[in-house]
Amino acid sequence: MFWTGELIAKTAPVRRRAVAIPERSPQLDRAMAAYVGLAVGDALGATVEFLTPTEIRHQIGVHGNITGGGWLRLKAGQVTDDTTMSLALGESILAAGRVDARAAAEAFDAWMRAKPVDIGNTVRRNLITFRRTGHPEAAASEHDAGNGAAMRVLPVALKCYGQPEKTTKIAIHAQAHVTHHNALSDAACETLVFMVQDFLAGRDASEVERERAGKLVADYPVFAYDRKRRDNPSGFVVDTLQAVLQAFFATDNFEDCLIDVVNRGGDADTTGAIAGMLAGARYGYQAIPRRWLATLDQTVCLRCERQAAALLHQRQDSTGSAPIGD
């Protein structure tokens, strides 16, 4: 699933900025790193989407640079629907002041009307249904267990940071059910949101794995990721989470995590995006390799940083807590 970002590309060219990381609070740093990490993983993985690990080794060796290309012949640093749908969702949240299903559906519909290069079948089908019926919640379906809701869930994690679990789950389902009304998709989205929030709070990875990933597997054993290595993951959300969790918990830094997961091939833009989101939240901005930051589309990078900050600030305002400083 790809979108090359025509809406973004129509803006004036942005000069490549020096990759200097300003001082900011640990929470804000991790939130920005999660969002930029999502975009970095998306751009990195897009090159090898739909290739098998063997094909990647034969054609590239170890894929470790953002070079563009791939089956859509992207420019180096371009992102796909994983990032642009996240940004569309985040904009709808900021405009509405909350996670609102109708606002999300309208934002996704506007995104689709911009004619993305590619779009997932489930997303397209359920957005077309929304256009016809005006109802922002798709019908529940056991067949809608793709990764389209999970890949874009980060804005909910930031907006709902510090909120009660029940409130957060309602928000998660509100955005997810616009296109993916499915129990496996819901479970994946919940796990990712709570993992991101745990890392924003500075929790240890072993605790997060035990509490969040462990609960996911206990509730839905199909997600078990401690067995066979998940290579060539499909768009099925179980495949996606297995590949991401294997790579994430088997490595101890941002770069190794992303190189591990994208070299598994398959739906590599989405596994890369989700792994980048988690790794950014865990390791912080300084951990993102400078060569990847320098190559990433700079307009996208700035949008991710600013939206992460805005969502955290809006969350702080709505809860009455002290604002997070830059």
Q: What average pLDDT does range 54-78 have in this prediction? A: 96
Please indicate, yes or no, if residue 12 is contained in any of the structural domains: no
Please indicate, yes or no, if residue 15 is contained in any of the structural domains: no
pLDDT beyond 50 at 4: no
Task: Give Cα 24 to chain centroid, integer Å.
Answer: 22
For 234, the domain range is 34-319
C-alpha–C-alpha distance, residues 281 and 296, integer Å: 18
Confidence of residue 72 (pLDDT cuts 50, 70, 90): confident
Please indicate, yes or no, if residue 27 is contained in any of the structural domains: no
pTM, to two decimals: 0.91
Q: What average pLDDT does range 133-146 have in this prediction? A: 97
**What is the 8-class DSSP label of residue 66?**
-
- Looking at residue 159, its pLDDT comes to 98
β partners of residue 146: 236
For 203-219, write each residue's pLDDT tens digit: 999 999 999 999 999 99
- Looking at residue 170, its pLDDT comes to 98
C-alpha–C-alpha distance, residues 281 and 278, integer Å: 5
- Looking at residue 14, its pLDDT comes to 42
Please indicate, yes or no, if residue 23 is contained in any of the structural domains: no
Please indicate, yes or no, if residue 166 is contained in any of the structural domains: yes
Please indicate, yes or no, if residue 93 is contained in any of the structural domains: yes
Residue/partner pairs of 13-18 with CB below 8 Å, 24 or more apart: 14/298, 14/299, 14/302, 15/298, 16/294, 16/298, 17/298
DSSP codes joined into one string, 272-307: HHHHHHHHHHHH-GGGS-HHHHHHS-HHHHHHHHHH
Contacts of 268 (CB under 8 A, 6+ apart): 45, 46, 47, 48, 49, 50, 51, 261, 262
How many domains does the structure of the chain reveal? 1
Q: What average pLDDT does range 238-242 have in this prediction? A: 98
* Nearest Cα residue to 257 out of 3, 4, 78, 38: 38
Structure tokens that stand for 55 in this block: 């094909």
* Nearest Cα residue to 176 out of 123, 216, 134: 123
Q: What average pLDDT does range 294-310 have in this prediction? A: 98
Q: What is the mean pLDDT of the chain?
A: 91
* Nearest Cα residue to 179 out of 227, 213, 131: 131
Q: What CATH number should be reported for the domain holding residue 236?
A: 1.10.4080.10
pLDDT beyond 90 at 146: yes
Q: What percent of the chain has pLDDT over 90?
A: 87
Please indicate, yes or no, if residue 1 is contained in any of the structural domains: no
For 102-136, write each residue's pLDDT tens digit: 999 999 999 999 987 778 899 999 999 999 999 99
Please indicate, yes or no, if residue 160 is contained in any of the structural domains: yes
